[in-house]
Amino acid sequence: MLLQTQNLTMKFGGIMALKDVTLAFESGKISAVIGPNGAGKTTFFNACCGVYTPTAGQVTFGATPLNGKLPHQIAHMGIARTWQNLQIFPQLTLIENVMVGGEMRDHASGFVASMLRLPGVVSKENAAKAKAKYWLDLVGLGDRAETLAGNLAFGQQRVLEIARAMATSPRLLMLDEPAAGLSSTERDALMTVIRRIRDEGITVLLVEHDMRLVMQLADYVAVLNYGELIAQGPPSEVQANPDVIKAYLGEDE
């Protein structure tokens, strides 16, 4: 198990956003967390990667507890993510956006070395650029490398976030609603990219509304409703679960 949560609980004032969620995600697989609006899916993501400090419970990555770690420390440990409400850098070009991710693992070019443009700086920068270009090409944005990210269409910004996250060489990629706002062609391309990432041995965890995408992609699905885990298992099983159907369609009165 690559990522595990144990009784993960998140309270905002009187609102219980997550309640005792215990989940485990297998490495090398594509897993999905689904649920109706407001079920706590994004909160679950945020609590896992250090954006929120959980009210109670544990998150473990590999064998390391993540509690109390800052997002950048978690990123260095090998978790990368994208955002439902995009967090791209609009005034940076696409290649620069991806380079910020790629340069995470290069500690040598610090402030002073960069100001003096010491010999190592240029070669490291070129290496980061090449890596960034690789990921831009892979998600199909390679020909727009010098465009400002703010000028991209919404769907392309989503894909840019994936390229940027992948440039950090993660072990776990967390995608927060990657298909939201994508056209059906873009959606198909996205599925190809996600499968390709999985085939490179990277574990993928996604939060998604698009059921068709989840059922086609995921090896394992967990369902949240009002912050509680109501079902988990292979997609076909979860789809047939009466609790899940009730949560999505509402109850007959």
Partner 1 sequence: MRFRSFIPVLVVGFVLALVPSLSESKQLLGTFIFAGVYAIAVIGLALFSGYAGQPSMGQAGFCAIGAYASAIVATKFNLSPWVGLLAAGAMSGLVGWLIGSLILRLSGHYLAIGTLGFGIIVAALLKQWEWTGLSSGMRNVPRFEFFGDALKSEAGYYYLVLVILLLVIVLALNLVRSRPGRALRALHESEIGAEMLGVDTATAKLRVFVLSAVLGGIAGSLYAHYVGSITPDTFEFTISVEMLVMAVIGGVSSVWGAALGTAFIWGLSQAIKALPDVLNSIVKIPSITQFELMIFGTILILVMIFMPEGLLPTFTRRKRSG
Q: Can you give the binding site for partner 1, defined by CB under 8 A? A: 49, 51, 70-72, 74-76, 80-81, 83, 87-92, 96-97, 99-101, 103-106, 109-111, 114-117, 121, 124-125, 128, 164-165, 168
Minimum CB separation of residue 100 from partner 1 in Å reads 5
Give 228: exposed, middle or buried? Use CB within 10 Å, 0-12, 13-18, 19+: middle
**Least separation in angstroms between CB 165 and partner 1:** 8
Shortest reach from residue 97's CB to partner 1, in Å: 8
**CA dihedral sign of residues 69, 75, 79, 80:** positive
Q: Is 33 or 99 the residue whose CB approaches partner 1 more closely?
A: 99
Task: Report the nearest approach of partner 1 to the CB of residue 49 (Å).
Answer: 7
Give the residue with the Cβ less far from partner 1, 83 or 220. 83
CB 101 to partner 1: min, Å = 4
The distance of closest approach from Cβ of residue 137 to partner 1 in the complex, given in angstroms and rounded to an integer, is: 19
| Residues 6 or more apart whose Cβ sits within 8 Å of residue 96 | 89
In angstroms, the CA 193 to CA 64 distance is 29
Q: How many CB atoms lie within 10 A of CB 37?
A: 6
From the list 75, 94, 222, the residue with the least C-alpha distance to 163 is 94
The DSSP line for 159-206 is: HHHHHHHHTT--SEEEEESTTTT--HHHHHHHHHHHHHHHHTT-EEEE
Closer of 103 and 208 to partner 1 (Cβ): 103
Q: Which is nearer to partner 1, 7 or 67 (CB)?
A: 67
**Closer by beta carbon to partner 1, 50 or else 227:** 50
135 and 170 in contact (C-beta within 8 Å)? no
Gap between the Cα atoms of 232 and 4, Å rounded: 14
Q: How far apart are the C-alpha atoms of 155 and 201, rounded to whole Å?
A: 25
Q: Which is nearer to partner 1, 3 or 213 (CB)?
A: 3
